[in-house]
Amino acid sequence: MLRIIVLLVVGLASVNLSAHRISDVVSNPDTPPDTLVICPKKFQVALKKWTAYRGGQGHVIEVISPALTPAAIKRQIRQVADRGRLKHILIIGDSGDSRSAPNDLVSTDYVAARVNVRFGSDPEIATDNTYADLDNDGIPDLTIGRIPADSVDEIQRFTDRIIKYESHSGQSEWQRRINFVAGVGGFGRVIDGLIEQTTKQIITDLVPGGYETKMTYGSWCSPYCPDPRRFSDSAIERFNEGCLFWVYIGHGSRHRLDRVFMPDQSHLILDNASVPKLNCKCGSPIAIFLCCYAGATDHPNDCLAETMLRQEQGPIAAICGTRVTMPYAMSLLSLEMVHEFFDGDATTIGELTMLAKRCMVEGSDHNPNYRQMIEGMGKTFSPTAQWLRLERLEHVQLIHLIGDPLLRLKRPAKIQLATTSSKIAGSMLGVRGSVPADGKLIIELAYERDRLRERPPRRRNYDSSNESFCGYQETYEKTHDLVCSTKSIAVTCGDFETEIAIPPDAIGRCVVRAMLESNEIFALGSSPVEITRNPETRSAKQATDVFNK
């Protein structure tokens, strides 16, 4: 009771203080803001470059100092929202850093946990979502993100990184890569198998063929498992090579991801101490953590997502959970994020996160077969199947965007692409299409992403010898070698036509991928193709088989 009285007193005091703080900085004082920045006074001078940059994009920005309690901060936000144009909230400052003075922090809110608390979560969920929820229905009405900066220098450096990210450069290949790192779920063989299969299907079917995907998986039975002793290095290499999204699926905690467990040993994936190894010099990935606690910014020590964001060559943004996450709701959220990026209307990372949350709770007709499959899994395997809606609502609260909600998504322009003439192994495949600008066009013939060029032997027995683990690494590298043939040509805006060689051993389901690099834009396209065996080669092989018999 004493704690409640103290909070009420502090809250009333902060309302009076906020009356003097509101409208500290307004980019256009004659127009109600569409973007509200909540930032401690000490850091506001560092925002001038960011506000000028976003103002130049058409945003009207108001900057205020935070009130002292979550309830008072919500009142501040609603005062601005009542003026009619508010769409976005950016919070500058940490919510629980032991190194910062209290006036340099911006409090997060807390809501009671009802479902995930049964699986070991804290009794309260740390959340910024309530600040974006204007009608108290648990669903965000505004985009929101937090940059948990501790200093003026951090804000200035992060602003420079944002501007660099949104600026077009000639090096664009990283924008077509989506890299996945996955631990073993540990929910049991049946549930783990279903989660793995569902994830694989979503990646295969819903990610357009023009993108290149890579998987690093912590199951020793899988060909996607590298040498376990090098698992951390492999996960970091997938980040450092540059990619649009770097996605972790598995277990996590505040300061590290789960370890990879073999029958006789375990190995690190990533923790705060190994974050300095992140050194992505070509593009800045958006990190997505489908795991517990990685986004717990209210902890006195920086959580993993915060530590990564502070790294100069680290991620440009992170979508992550503040508490225990659960497979059903996270699978639905992932499905909706996939839709919003590849088929939706979101133009910023904040809009993508907000719309995915809304659709996760309210339902959608996006990819209905997959949604039905995930709903079925939730009803079958969740011990709290009757609470599935509550589980979805809890995940709206505990999933945070760490980063700038106005960050513009890197969506490529489209290349119209089709194949013509022969589709026979060992011949030339005709390719034609249309590109939206002049530049260099890279055309590839590759296996579909759910196929392997060489089928590795199935691992039935675990062997931890050096020779065996080196074999793991060799197989892992081969799983990502899907390109059969490549060609680069100069093109001008408009139609083009060319040919690409089909190797004699390229048989079955393949895809022709095209990537345009230019001084103006980046563009992708793809077209599926079924390659058939050369009849002459088949006849010769059959004759040889008869002779050998």
**SS3 label, residue 498:** strand
> Residue 30: is its pLDDT beyond 90?
no
**DSSP 8-state secondary structure symbol assigned to residue 412:** P
2-147 and 413-539 share one fold: no
59: left (phi over 0), alpha (psi -120 to 50) or beta: beta
Superfamily of chain region 2-147: Gingipain r; domain 1 (3.40.50.10390)
Q: Which amino acid is at 14?
A: S
What is the C-alpha end-to-end distance of the chain, expressed in Å? 89
pLDDT band at 420 (very low <50, low <70, confident <90, very high): confident
Q: Can you tell me the mean pLDDT for 195-203?
A: 71
pTM across the whole model: 0.90
If 0-12 CB within 10 Å is exposed, 13-18 middle and 19+ buried, where does residue 90 land?
buried
pLDDT band at 11 (very low <50, low <70, confident <90, very high): very low
Per residue in 117-140, pLDDT (tens digit) is 888 889 999 999 999 999 999 999
> What is the pLDDT, as a whole number, of residue 10?
29
256: left (phi over 0), alpha (psi -120 to 50) or beta: beta
Task: For domain 413-539, give the CATH number.
Answer: 2.60.40.10
How far apart are alpha carbons 322 and 95 in whole angstroms? 12
> Residue 257: is its pLDDT beyond 90?
yes
> What is the pLDDT, as a whole number, of residue 202?
76
Q: Can you tell me the mean pLDDT for 17-35?
A: 58
pLDDT band at 54 (very low <50, low <70, confident <90, very high): very high
> What is the pLDDT, as a whole number, of residue 143?
98
**DSSP 8-state secondary structure symbol assigned to residue 299:** S
> What is the pLDDT, as a whole number, of residue 103?
85
pLDDT band at 16 (very low <50, low <70, confident <90, very high): very low
- CA 464 and chain centroid, separation: 33
> What is the pLDDT, as a whole number, of residue 15?
29
Q: To the nearest whole number, what is the mean pLDDT of the chain?
A: 88
466: left (phi over 0), alpha (psi -120 to 50) or beta: alpha
| Closest of 172, 203, 505 to residue 335, by C-alpha | 203
> Residue 542: is its pLDDT beyond 70?
no
Spell out the alpha helix ranges (H) of 63-126: 70-81
DSSP states along 208-265: -TTSEEEEEE--TTSTT---GGGHHHHHHHHHHT--SEEEEES-B-SSBBPPEE-SS-
Contact 118, 433 (CB under 8 A): no
Residue spans of the domains in the chain: they are: 2-147, 175-402, 413-539
> Residue 495: is its pLDDT beyond 90?
yes
Q: Can you tell me the mean pLDDT for 240-269?
A: 95
pLDDT band at 548 (very low <50, low <70, confident <90, very high): very low
Strand order in the sheet with 508-517: 413-414, 522-531, 508-517, 439-447, 483-491
> Residue 24: is its pLDDT beyond 60?
no
**DSSP 8-state secondary structure symbol assigned to residue 403:** S
> What is the pLDDT, as a whole number, of residue 404?
98
> Residue 384: is its pLDDT beyond 70?
no
> What is the pLDDT, as a whole number, of residue 14?
31
Per residue in 358-378, pLDDT (tens digit) is 999 999 988 898 898 888 888
Handedness of CA 135, 139, 144, 149 (dihedral sign): positive
Most confident of 95-99, 253-257, 449-453: 253-257
Q: Can you tell me the mean pLDDT for 391-408?
A: 97
Per residue in 465-482, pLDDT (tens digit) is 999 999 999 999 999 999
Instruction: Report the share of the chain in percent with pLDDT over 70.
Output: 88
Please give the CATH topology (third level) of the domain spanning 175-402.
Rossmann fold (3.40.50)
CA dist list (Å): 278 to 1, 302, 311: 46, 16, 7
